[in-house]
Amino acid sequence: MNVKKLADLDVAGKRVFIRADLNVPQDEAGNIVEDTRIRASLPSIRYCLERGAAVMVTSHLGRPAEGECRAEDTLAPIAVRLGELLGKPVRLIRDWVEGGFEVRAGEIVLLENCRCNKGEKKDNEELAKKMAALCDIYVNDAFGTAHRAEATTHGIARFAPVACAGMLMGAEIDALTKATENPARPLVAIVGGAKVSTKLTILKTLAQKVDQLIVGGGIANTFLLASGKRIGESLAEPELVKEAQAIMDMMKARGAEVPLPVDVVVADEVSALARANRIPVDEVGPHDRILDVGPKSSAKLAEIIAHAGTIVWNGPVGVFEHNQFAGGTKMMASAIAHSEAFCIAGGGDTLAAIAKFHIAQDIGYISTGGGAFLEFLEGKKLPAIAALEARFAD
């Protein structure tokens, strides 16, 4: 995947426009609850500031209505946090599309919520050209939005004098390419989640590539149904049993496997107070809910992971938020942490599990993208990356 990278460019004295992903969670008072995305954007910003560029940064935040910027849509709290992390003031510029503001070399300004601008989400060409006119170099560092063609992620890349990938975007592209193109074998994919329907495309794509496809959560329950097991009142999608069977058949035809649980943890409700029972999968009763894999299944998954060359991880194997149903995900996380394999992990629940079990430092690469991460793994062309590729030879 050929894209220009920020680290290869001379930015001294240049006007640099960085599209970051600063869409952080806030409480009702607007206070930032968790600032990982802001911290992840710092390397590109610092690189430009230290080399004397005039830096403009923008991002989306929440779901604003185009054409208006309400109090809850403002990037003002992000400007404050960014200033604290950089150790220098960060001015917030409103109504910035037409220009009319000054940015000095070595200075940074934050441009108000880009999704407040009319035409942003529809990738309006006129808007994109106006944005492109503000800069000498456009930097896309927002992998989490790379699957959307919007004015600040796609359109501006077409018209800016130079368009490149930032430090974070470049690292994402490198890690995902390493995991999907000529990966070290065996290639093991872990796909958890509530529904097969939301992950059907990626399951089919991975079934053609991986050596072991570990499924978890409600997805695994649908696969258990397909294999003829009773699952009681567990979350599943009976209407997708044929699809699950087709995926297992596809894997089997390649000499690959979808390892299904031989024992499970069940309860009659999903709650912190629910009593967990470990039973063989063949003993699931009519009112049981499968909420985790059992110890024998966990040990089997750990063994598969121990022999992997590459691991792609998206989703837990149980309701790990409650400790009595966290055993499977915890053992899997521990196996990944101790594995010699290159592991790339992505998705909100996956990141929450990594944080809960304190293994972030043992993961090869943690992706900042949710939907973009999945679409890349599905083999889809991400519009924002395609736009950068198209400008590589310029």
Binding residues for substrate: 21-23, 37, 60-63, 115, 148
Measured distance CA(224)–CA(230) in Å, rounded? 8
Chain-centre distance of CA 308, in angstroms? 22
Residue appearing with tokens 């097991």: 229
Element (H, E) at 185: none
Element (H, E) at 14: none
- In 3-state terms, what secondary structure has residue 159? helix
Element (H, E) at 87: none
Q: Are 74 and 31 in contact (CB under 8 A)?
A: no
Residues with a catalytic annotation lie at 37, 195, 348, 371
Chain-centre distance of CA 125, in angstroms? 27
Query: Could you please report the per-residue DSSP string of 205-270?
Result: HHHTT-SEEEE-HHHHHHHHHHTT---TT----GGGHHHHHHHHHHHHHTT-B-PPPSEEEEESS-
Measured distance CA(384)–CA(142) in Å, rounded? 9
Chain-centre distance of CA 348, in angstroms? 7
Q: Are 292 and 266 in contact (CB under 8 A)?
A: no
Measured distance CA(377)–CA(118) in Å, rounded? 31
Q: Are 108 and 51 in contact (CB under 8 A)?
A: no
